[in-house]
């Protein structure tokens, strides 16, 4: 009999300090510092939470974890599915190969390995296929599967919408902060591979194959620091086989016409990376512990964007926001460019083929009274919606979050119940509305109704419309 009572190993990675796992890794020295490493390649496992392993056909919700395709785990404390499953759904989380083991394209090194850069996506497809085959055994409906994911998991949802006949795998999709612009073009996938191979001095497949997992992780870590494309080293890429074309092009052409969709983003997405700085400064706009600002929109690309969008972004944002601080203007631009507007565009690409689409914006943030004196207000950062979606209300990882988590008089539980109800209602019927959920109309191009998740949640007509209009001529395709 197979022991299925405990979590299995995380996929190989150098642990990110923001992640929380139920078991520790092993201490290793890389780049002159001690890091926590997981290097067990026997990692392709999944976790199931179900109200009962009976014959009832419950909706099945399959979650794809985030972590820039280089870290993360289905066993993370953040993704415990017990409370979500209490809404009479089956919840599944799964591991997939990360980093170079899952997303390094090796076709240029050896033709036999063409397409290896999508091995992590193959793992995701295999996991969903397993769920479909076995859903009935744990009280789920194999014909009613909803995939949902956040960050890299959301980009994975986008990639899966661009596979052949996605409705054969799942019925509905929820994309939280990650669209086609995070997926790689073939050129970026090849450049990432070259950077890693050069860093590790891997000039033959034999050298790669003979290297230990720890050696591969060390090369990956060095490339992550040295490569010009930095934390964009890994992602699924448009290979013409699994992802047959730019996901936006395919979605716009009706490739996912049978899939109902929820998509959205957080108001202050890119402030998440401020959590890595000792003074909580935004590394994309200001000098931080990691050195000078690393602009998300490189100068050359900014010039191309501004030509397309007919005007300087800084001027447009300063006019809208009545703000002269360049750092704050650029932060708003980054939030729009990387997350907010690409998620909206995804919904709009799907809309002509399936009107059952919904857009949200998550604006909730830790109330100011819980913030330590002198701490900047980072707002609704990337991933802050996850504790609400899963009902695991631990905010200790954000400024003021520990005090907030320990205060029994907060309204977090109410917001979490609303979001869990909306997510599970959608999985059950394709409609997020129901008892306890603020009215959430389908998205359309007339009113652009968007659910605003906050202390008091409600739908709003075209929020931040002036900012939206700036980006109307940008498609947000894979870079």
**Which residues are the active-site residues?**
151, 269, 382
Nearest to 421 by CA among 438, 441, 443, 442: 438
3-state secondary structure at position 189: helix
379 near 267, Cβ under 8 Å? yes
CA–CA gap between residue 437 and residue 320 (Å, rounded): 32
Please, which residues have CB within 8 angstroms of residue 369's CB and are 6 or more apart in sequence?
none
Alpha helices in 28-151 (DSSP H): 82-85, 99-103, 119-134
Q: How far is CA 379 from CA 126, 231, 246, 452, 453, in A?
A: 37, 23, 32, 14, 13
Tell me whether residue 339 is exposed, middle or buried, using C-beta atoms within 10 angstroms of its C-beta: 0 to 12, 13 to 18, 19 or more.
Answer: buried
CA–CA gap between residue 118 and residue 239 (Å, rounded): 8
Please report which helix (H) or strand (E) contains residue 260, including its range: strand 260-266
CA–CA gap between residue 5 and residue 224 (Å, rounded): 35
3-state secondary structure at position 390: helix
CA–CA gap between residue 5 and residue 197 (Å, rounded): 39
Tell me whether residue 255 is exposed, middle or buried, using C-beta atoms within 10 angstroms of its C-beta: 0 to 12, 13 to 18, 19 or more.
Answer: buried
| Radius of gyration from C-alpha coordinates of the chain | 21
Within the chain, what is the greatest distance between any pair of CA atoms? 66
- Classify the C-alpha dihedral 251-253-259-261 as positive or negative: positive
Q: How far is CA 342 from CA 154, 191, 296, 390, in A?
A: 12, 24, 15, 24
């Amino acid at each position: 009999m197979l022991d299925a009572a405990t979590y299995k190993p995380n996929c190989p990675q150098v642990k990110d300090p923001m992640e929380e796992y139920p078991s520790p890794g092993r201490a290793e020295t890389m780049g002159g510092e001690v890091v926590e490493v997981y290097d067990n390649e026997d990692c392709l496992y999944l976790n199931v939470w179900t109200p009962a392993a009976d014959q009832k056909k419950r909706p099945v919700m399959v979650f794809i974890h985030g972590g820039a395709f280089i870290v993360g785990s289905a066993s993370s404390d953040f993704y415990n599915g017990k409370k979500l499953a209490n809404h009479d759904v089956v919840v599944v989380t799964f591991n997939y190969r990360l980093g170079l083991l899952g997303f390094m394209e090796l076709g240029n090194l050896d033709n036999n390995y063409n397409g290896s850069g999508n091995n992590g996506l193959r793992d995701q497809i295999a996991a969903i296929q397993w769920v479909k085959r076995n859903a009935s055994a744990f009280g789920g409906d194999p014909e009613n599967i909803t995939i949902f994911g956040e960050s890299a998991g959301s980009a994975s949802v986008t990639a899966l919408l661009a596979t052949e006949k996605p409705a054969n795998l799942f019925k509905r999709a929820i994309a939280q902060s990650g669209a086609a612009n995070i997926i790689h073009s073939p050129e970026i996938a090849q450049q990432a591979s070259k950077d890693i191979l050069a860093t590790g001095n891997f000039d033959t497949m034999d050298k790669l194959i003979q290297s230990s997992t720890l050696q591969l992780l060390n090369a990956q870590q060095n490339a992550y620091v040295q490569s010009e494309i930095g934390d964009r080293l890994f992602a699924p890429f448009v290979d013409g086989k699994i992802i047959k074309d730019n996901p936006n092009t395919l979605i716009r052409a009706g490739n996912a016409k049978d899939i109902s969709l929820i998509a959205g983003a957080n108001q202050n997405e890119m402030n998440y990376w401020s959590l890595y700085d000792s003074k909580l400064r935004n590394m994309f706009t200001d000098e931080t512990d990691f050195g000078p600002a690393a602009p998300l929109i490189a100068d050359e690309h900014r010039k191309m964007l501004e030509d397309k969008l007919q005007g300087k972004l800084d001027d447009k944002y300063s006019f809208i926001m009545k703000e002269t601080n360049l750092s704050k203007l650029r932060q708003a631009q980054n939030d729009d460019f990387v997350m907010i507007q690409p998620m909206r565009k995804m919904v709009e690409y799907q809309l002509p083929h399936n009107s059952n689409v919904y857009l949200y914006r998550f604006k909730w943030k830790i109330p100011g009274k819980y913030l330590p004196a002198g701490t900047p207000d980072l707002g609704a950062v990337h991933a802050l919606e996850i504790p609400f979606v899963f009902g695991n209300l631990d905010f200790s990882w954000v400024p003021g979050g520990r005090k907030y988590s320990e205060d029994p008089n907060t309204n977090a539980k109410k917001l979490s119940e609303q979001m869990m109800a909306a997510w599970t209602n959608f999985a059950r019927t394709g409609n997020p509305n129901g008892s306890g959920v603020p009215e959430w109309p389908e998205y359309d191009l007339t009113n652009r109704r968007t659910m605003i998740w906050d202390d008091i949640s409600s739908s709003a007509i075209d929020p931040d419309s002036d900012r939206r209009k700036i980006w109307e001529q940008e498609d947000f395709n894979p870079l």
